[in-house]
């Protein structure tokens, strides 16, 4: 058993030091798909999250609970839904998007949206309590309040982004179904790991896993440093 | 605030991203739904670049079980299929989903199991007797149970052996709903018997205590065929490009290339296209 772990370390190391072009391509595609998916989700998710924190309307609690539950949505289910929508026999079949990186971006966006929405709602709600006094004295409109809160909460919202990114980069169920794991087209880190596991090459599969974890760590470290730098210069 | 105000820019953005991400792939491509065995064995890694050099057609493979591949074809989400389940293929063609079915190549299924071989199936050339022996002592058997070509063949063999394995599902008979590789991983971990296609078995690395125990029954014959998705059913399919690829598979050169692919000195897929067959 220990053998497999050392073999995995060697496999990962060999791939990295040889600058394996296939590996580089897969890592790049993984990052592209997940970063774009998180970006799209954030565009809508921050706005909806902030709105849920600030606005009061009938059914708000239901939407809040729905979003919270959505954080645990199984990727396979999202994958199936997107598959059926994008299939040539489905409502958006004419776009021809199934088995493309775009399909993977759509699936991951849907997967990540509830996470970003819920976490940003929490962040904004907390901020709202802190700033409630000021808002009352300035008599601002909802739009201005939202903008102010989102700006003031930008560093805390980074955590929501990273949580979403973690979910997106690590999931395999959705991208496997809507992407099809096509070599050089829709193969990403997680689907490559699944493929090597199916080939029984456990060391290589685990080696790829190590690289995936390292990549995720690098992204988080970069985010941390940027936040640290920005916070100090904002002060 | 209308939803379309949100959705329209998002759609435009997505299509722009799609355009950018596909801009570098200028070559004409087709989508081929195929089996896990052809991919896991490395056959496509070997064959597709050669075919592209010759035909100019890039082939994008979705490797799934035969049952799922047929579903993808029915929905029109691929241009051609390369699969291995004759009854399923005939149904697909007869229902008008596919045209121009051509038998390409074959290999065979093999029984693998633990070295200790508690059911004593070693070198038994009667597939039904093998399964009967396994059922008789209730030895662990893992089944793909994923409606793949291999799974369908396995079910036909249990019928031939007059053993109702599914009645024992959850005890000695374990239905995984997984691909060939995952099934072999499980068999290795449980010291269980299973039915595998020879190509995946030969290229499989995590064998543990498993070895090839029984083979050679004519009922273990495993025919692979190509089918084109019917353009009358699905007008968007790239029929001409897909046909170009299948024409190459059945050409003298393509057949010779198929037969030249070896792993561990064994030919994985034996070419057997017969021009005279309809």
Mapping DSSP to helix (H, G, I), strand (E, B) and coil, where does residue B261 land?
A: coil
Taking the C-alpha atoms of residue A124 and residue A147, their distance in angstroms, rounded to an integer, is 11
Chain B partners within 8 Å of A97 (Cβ) = 18
Mutate to test the interface with A, among B4, B9, B19, B21 (most CBs of A within 10 A): B21
Break chain B into its structural domains and give their ranges. Answer: 28-107+221-271, 108-220
Q: How many CA atoms lie within 13 A of B170 on its CB side?
A: 1
Q: Which residues does A contribute to its contact with B (CB < 8 Å)? A: 32, 36, 40, 43-44, 87-90, 93, 95-102, 105-106, 180-183, 185, 195, 197-202
**pLDDT at site B161:** 94
Q: Which residues are paired to B195 by β-bridges? A: B111
Nearest residue, CB atoms, A182 vs list B45, B61, B181: B61
Q: CB contact, 8 Å: B185 with chain A?
A: yes
Q: Among residues A215, A223, A112, which one has the least CA distance to residue A165? A: A112
| Averaged pLDDT for residues A187-203 | 89
Considering only residues A138 and A217, tell me which one the structure prediction assigns the higher pLDDT: A217
* DSSP letter for each residue of B179-194: -HHHHHHHHHHHT-BE
Mutate to test the interface with A, among B62, B80, B187 (most CBs of A within 10 A): B62
Residue B239 CA, distance from chain mean position: 22
Mapping DSSP to helix (H, G, I), strand (E, B) and coil, where does residue B257 land?
A: helix
Q: Is residue A110, in this structure, part of any structural domain at all?
A: yes
**pLDDT at site A98:** 94
Nearest residue, CB atoms, A102 vs list B21, B63, B77: B21
Residue B26, min C-alpha distance to chain A (Å):
13
> Cβ separation of A88 and B75 shorter than 8 Å?
yes
Taking the C-alpha atoms of residue A148 and residue A151, their distance in angstroms, rounded to an integer, is 5
Q: What angle do CA A53, A54, A57 make, to 5 degrees?
A: 95
**pLDDT at site B23:** 46
Residue B206, min C-alpha distance to chain A (Å):
5
Q: Is residue A10, in this structure, part of any structural domain at all?
A: no
H or E stretch covering B247? helix B239-250
- The fold of B108-220 is D-Maltodextrin-Binding Protein; domain 2 (3.40.190)
Domain count, chain A: 1
Instruction: State the greatest distance between any 2 C-alpha atoms of chain B, in Å, as a whole number.
Output: 73
Residue reference for tokens 């897969």: A26
> Cβ separation of A44 and B6 shorter than 8 Å?
yes
- CATH top class, domain B28-107+221-271: alpha beta
Q: Note the pLDDT tens digit of each residue in B87-97.
A: 999 999 999 99
* DSSP letter for each residue of B44-61: HHHHHHHHHHHH--EEEE
Residue B276, min C-alpha distance to chain A (Å):
34
Q: Is residue A14, in this structure, part of any structural domain at all?
A: no
Q: CB contact, 8 Å: B7 with chain A?
A: no
* DSSP letter for each residue of B5-19: HHHHHHHHHHHHHHH
> Could you give the ipTM of this predicted complex?
0.81
* CATH topology agreement for domains B28-107+221-271 and B108-220: yes
| Averaged pLDDT for residues B172-190 | 92
Taking the C-alpha atoms of residue B110 and residue B6, their distance in angstroms, rounded to an integer, is 56
Residues 6 or more apart whose CB falls under 8 angstroms from that of A27 comprise: A189, A211, A215
Nearest C-alpha in A relative to B61: A182
Taking the C-alpha atoms of residue B205 and residue B189, their distance in angstroms, rounded to an integer, is 13
Residue A94 sits in a domain whose CATH number is 1.10.3720.10
Q: Note the pLDDT tens digit of each residue in B218-268.
A: 999 999 999 999 999 999 999 999 999 999 999 999 999 999 999 888 899
Nearest C-alpha in B relative to A37: B14
* DSSP letter for each residue of chain A: -HHHHHHHHHHHHHHHHTT-HHHHHHHHHHHHHHHHHHHHHHHHHHHHHHHHHH---TTHHHHHHHHHHHTT--HHHHHHHHHHHHSTTSTTGGG--TTSHHHHHHHHHHHHHHHHHHHHHHHHHHHHHHHHHHHHHHT--HHHHHHHHHHHTHHHHHHHHHHHHHHHHH--HHHHHHH---TTTT--HHHHHHHHHHTT-HHHHHHHHHHHHHHHHHHHHHHHHHHHHHHHHH-
Measured CA to CA in angstroms, residue B10 lies from A152, A164, B5 at distances of 26, 19, 9
Residue A40, min C-alpha distance to chain B (Å):
8
Q: Note the pLDDT tens digit of each residue in B191-210.
A: 999 999 999 999 898 899 99
The model's confidence at residue B1, banded by pLDDT at 50, 70 and 90, is very low
Nearest C-alpha in B relative to A195: B40
Taking the C-alpha atoms of residue A210 and residue B113, their distance in angstroms, rounded to an integer, is 32
Please give the residue range of the domain that contains residue A131: 20-234
Mutate to test the interface with B, among A180, A181, A188, A196 (most CBs of B within 10 A): A180
């Amino acid at each position: 058993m220990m053998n497999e772990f050392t073999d995995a370390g060697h496999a990962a190391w060999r791939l990295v030091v040889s600058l394996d072009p296939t590996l580089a391509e897969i890592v790049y595609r993984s990052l592209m798909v997940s970063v774009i998916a998180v970006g799209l989700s954030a565009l809508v998710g921050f706005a909806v999250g902030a709105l849920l924190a600030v606005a009061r309307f009938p059914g708000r609690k239901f939407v809040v609970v729905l979003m919270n539950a959505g954080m645990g949505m199984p990727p396979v289910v999202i994958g199936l839904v997107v598959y059926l929508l994008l299939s040539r026999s489905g409502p958006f079949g004419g776009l021809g998007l199934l088995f493309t990186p775009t399909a993977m971006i759509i699936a991951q966006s849907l997967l990540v949206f509830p996470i970003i929405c819920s976490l940003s709602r929490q962040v904004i709600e907390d901020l709202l309590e802190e700033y409630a006094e000021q808002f009352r004295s300035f008599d601002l409109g909802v739009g201005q309040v939202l903008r102010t809160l989102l700006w003031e909460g930008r560093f805390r919202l980074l955590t929501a982004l990273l949580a979403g990114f973690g979910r997106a980069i690590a999931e395999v169920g959705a991208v496997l179904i809507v992407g099809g794991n096509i070599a050089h087209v829709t193969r990403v880190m997680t689907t490559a790991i699944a493929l090597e596991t199916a080939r029984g090459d456990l060391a290589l599969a685990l080696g790829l896993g190590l690289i995936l974890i390292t990549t995720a760590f690098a992204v988080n470290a970069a985010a941390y440093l940027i936040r640290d730098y920005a916070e100090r210069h904002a002060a | 605030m209308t939803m379309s105000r949100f959705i329209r820019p998002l759609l435009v953005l997505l299509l722009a991203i799609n355009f950018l991400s596909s801009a570098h792939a200028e070559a004409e491509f087709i989508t081929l739904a195929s089996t896990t065995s052809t991919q896991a064995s490395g056959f496509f890694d070997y064959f597709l670049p050669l075919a592209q050099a010759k035909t100019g057609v890039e082939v994008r493979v979705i490797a799934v079980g035969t049952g799922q591949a047929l579903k993808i074809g029915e929905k029109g989400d691929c241009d051609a299929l390369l699969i291995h389940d004759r009854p399923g293929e005939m149904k697909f063609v007869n229902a008008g989903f596919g045209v121009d079915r051509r038998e390409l190549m074959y290999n065979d299924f093999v029984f693998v199991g633990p070295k200790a071989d508690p059911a004593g199936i070693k070198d038994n050339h009667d597939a039904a007797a093998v399964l009967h022996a396994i059922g008789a002592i209730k030895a662990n058997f893992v089944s793909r149970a994923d409606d793949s070509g291999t799974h369908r063949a396995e079910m036909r063999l249990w019928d031939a052996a007059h053993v109702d394995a599914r009645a024992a599902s959850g005890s000695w008979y374990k239905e995984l709903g997984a691909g060939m590789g995952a099934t072999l991983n499980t068999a290795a971990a449980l010291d269980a018997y299973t039915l595998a296609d020879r190509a995946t078995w030969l290229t499989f690395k995590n064998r543990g205590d498993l070895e090839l125990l029984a083979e050679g029954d004519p009922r273990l014959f495993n025919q692979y065929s190509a089918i084109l998705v019917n353009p009358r059913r699905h007008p968007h399919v790239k029929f001409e490009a897909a046909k170009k690829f299948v024409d190459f598979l059945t050409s003298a050169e393509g057949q010779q290339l198929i037969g030249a692919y070896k792993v561990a000195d064994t030919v994985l897929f034996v070419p057997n296209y017969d021009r005279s067959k309809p």
